[in-house]
Structure 1
Amino acid sequence: MAKTNPGRFFEDYTLGETIQHAVPRTVSGGERALYQALYPARHALYSSDEFARASGLPASPIDDLAAFHLVFGKTVPDISLNALANLGYAEGRWRLPVYPGDTLSASSTVIGLKQNSNGKSGVVYVRTKGINQRGEVVIDYVRWVMVRKRDFDAPAPETVIPDLAPALAAGDITIPEGLDFTSYDFGLAGERHRWGDYAVGEQIDHVDGVTVEEAEHMIATRLWQNTAKVHFDVGSRPDGRRLIYGGHVISMARALSFNGLANAQMVVGLNAGAHANPCYSGDTIKAWSEVIDKAETSAPGVGALRLRLVATKGGEPFTLKGEDGKYLPHVMLDLDYWALIPL
């Protein structure tokens, strides 16, 4: 009997099944330190317990994207070990902050299947939940992945494509209990720009760039216990190149967005996301943002911005798609998310 796990292939998924992912993880201050070593992450709420307490929280949580990566990494051996590509995200909600001492586990439910026309692969849609030690959902999201088939002759499943919301309404996002920005210290946060200073349609060039190196992206991917072969093994892709984990690009772009969005403190909703083109070692990641929508919230002094975050490798800022509607070659990431900011 084989003892090793080759990972699931497309024909191994069944609509409606729930997969419990292995290896729960207890979060410590080490995740925060490594996250800030890997990315230029400087948002004050995730850097200072005192700043977080002044904002109504019991302490500084770990970065929202660090929590996302921890949950995402648990799903890889069961969902995307044999993936050709991670295609997109939708309906993502951060429901509770994650603090050092919390233990996270994850499960995914298969909500859609579609075999590709070539018969060699198919798309698997899953809804993933990250759960803490009290059984509370801290994050949930939908993603879809193109997965290889083991047996090209295996029959195609019935095509089911889930009906997903194009975006979360402002009323669908969760505001952390106690969050209060009425005494927000803009000087300590690093910028003076508040909710009212941003206009729908405004575009922001975040100016700075970071060149990705082989060692750092593999350390980052290991940190999240992501075991996908394409990120480590040069023999797993025909071109012999390691593919940078898409989450590494997300976190790098979000960290770069501090320059212009330092007060967009908490990521609370993931509306949509596309890894438009691959990222490789040696690429220099730059970023720009566009304000898509604005909303006030029920929390004191707290507003919400719906933002498009675009990560690029070269090219002019604020360029996204060509006349054919396809992403331009320099665009690596197109992410649509909600963030909380002081009014």
Structure 2
Amino acid sequence: MSKTNAGRFFDDYKVGDVITHAVPRTVAEGERALYHALYPARGALYSSDMFAQDCGLESSPLDDLIAFHIVFGKTVPDVSLNAVANLGYAEGRWLAPVWPGDTLTSTSEVIGVKQNSNGKSGVVWVRTTGRNQMDVPVLEYVRWVMVRKQGDAPAPDTVIPDLQKSVLPGDLVVPEGLDFTDYDFALAGEPHRLGDYKVGEVIDHVDGVTIEEAEHMIATRLWQNTAKVHFDATNRPDGKRLIYGGHVISMARALSFNGLANAQMIVALNGGAHANPCFAGDTVRAWSEVLDTADTDAPGVGAIRLRLVATKGKAGALKTEDGKYHPDVLLDLDYWALMPT
């Protein structure tokens, strides 16, 4: 009997299965330092204990996307080690801040399966939950992946989950104690409040960053993302490592500081698509479209719904006339963030 793990194939998933992912991970200030080294992240709430305390928190939590990458990375050996592609996200919510010293674990429930017509692969939907050492959920999201089929088993009954198109404003979780009534706009970097943004507004974040192979490899190791397409150059016929989609998400989010410096905390992930592959040498730029705004019950805290697009091209270009993503578009992400009113 083999003692090694070749990863799961489409044949191995059944709706209702709950997968406990190895290995628990205690996070510390090192994760913050490496995250800020990999990406030009400058959000004040995640950079300064003093700023966070002035906003009602005990100290500066770890960046939301650190929590996402770690929880996500734990799922890879069980969900997407043999994936052809990571297809999308939905119903993502950040439920509690992650603090230095927390220990994170992940579990996933299989909520949908659909074999592809070629009989060689299928799509698997999972709902993943990340918890801290007190078993408190800190993050949950649905994602779906295309996974290779290994055997000749008959196609399973198709189950496609009914997913919300977006997280409702009333379902957003604002961290306990968060208060933006004394928010310091000068220290945050920009003067723009929630009311300064209009639905339909497109923001060109101006800056660009060329993706480097070395940084991507550090990121996949940091997040313990063992998907073969990201670290094994022999896995693709072209000999290229596919840049981890989360690396593109974090890069685009960091670039969005220029124009959205006060979109301080991500609280929901409504949907997302990795529209085209990204490789080392690509120069990534970002633009955002304001989709909605909403009030919250927290003092001085509002919510802004944004479409974040990572692209190799120009701001505002998303899809071609036939409805397909423009070849330059790498990422189309729909999320809610908290912003001072």
Instruction: Flag whether TM exceeds 0.5 (same fold).
Output: yes
For residues 291 and 284 of structure 2, the distance between their equivalents in structure 1, rounded to whole angstroms, comes to: 22
Q: Which residue of 2 aligns with 1:160?
A: 159
Q: Which residue of 1 aligns with 2:330?
A: 332
Between 234-243 and 94-103, report the one with greater CA deviation: 234-243
Q: Which residue of 2 aligns with 1:121?
A: 121
Report the residue type matching 2:322 in the other structure.
D
Report the residue type matching 1:308 in the other structure.
R
* 1:273-326 deviation line (CA, Å, top 9, x unaligned): 00000000000010000000001110000010000000001x221010011111
Secondary structure at 2:147 match in 1: strand
TM-superposed deviation, 1:3: 1.0
For residues 237 and 117 of structure 2, the distance between their equivalents in structure 1, rounded to whole angstroms, comes to: 21
Which residues of 2 match residues 208-223 of structure 1 at below 5 A? 208-223=207-222
Q: Which residue of 2 aligns with 1:27?
A: 27
TM-superposed deviation, 1:240: 1.4
Q: Which residue of 2 aligns with 1:304?
A: 303
Secondary structure at 1:4 match in 2: coil
Q: Which residue of 2 aligns with 1:70?
A: 70
Q: Which residue of 2 aligns with 1:320?
A: 318
**RMSD of aligned residue pairs (Cα, Å):** 0.5
For residues 35 and 86 of structure 2, the distance between their equivalents in structure 1, rounded to whole angstroms, comes to: 22
TM-superposed deviation, 1:239: 1.8
Secondary structure at 1:208 match in 2: strand
- TM (normalized to structure 1)? 0.99
For residues 234 and 119 of structure 1, the distance between their equivalents in structure 2, rounded to whole angstroms, comes to: 26
For residues 75 and 314 of structure 2, the distance between their equivalents in structure 1, rounded to whole angstroms, comes to: 35
For residues 184 and 21 of structure 1, the distance between their equivalents in structure 2, rounded to whole angstroms, comes to: 39
Report the residue type matching 1:15 in the other structure.
V
Q: Does structure 1 residue 48 correspond to structure 2 residue 43?
A: no
Which residues of 2 match residues 169-208 of structure 1 at below 5 A? 169-208=168-207
For residues 219 and 246 of structure 2, the distance between their equivalents in structure 1, rounded to whole angstroms, comes to: 9
TM-superposed deviation, 1:49: 0.5
Which residues of 2 match residues 52-131 of structure 1 at below 5 A? 52-131=52-131
- Structure 1 gaps, min length 5: none
Q: Which residue of 1 aligns with 2:289?
A: 290
Q: Which residue of 2 aligns with 1:139?
A: 139
TM-superposed deviation, 1:238: 1.9
For residues 21 and 149 of structure 2, the distance between their equivalents in structure 1, rounded to whole angstroms, comes to: 21
Secondary structure at 1:53 match in 2: helix
Q: Which residue of 2 aligns with 1:230?
A: 229
Q: Which residue of 2 aligns with 1:39?
A: 39
- Structure 2 gaps, min length 5: none
Report the residue type matching 2:150 in the other structure.
R
TM-superposed deviation, 1:169: 1.1
Report the residue type matching 2:106 in the other structure.
A
* 1:58-90 deviation line (CA, Å, top 9, x unaligned): 110000011000000000000000000000000
For residues 136 and 18 of structure 1, the distance between their equivalents in structure 2, rounded to whole angstroms, comes to: 18
Report the residue type matching 1:274 in the other structure.
A
Give the paired residue count: 341
Report the residue type matching 1:335 in the other structure.
L
- TM (normalized to structure 2)? 0.99
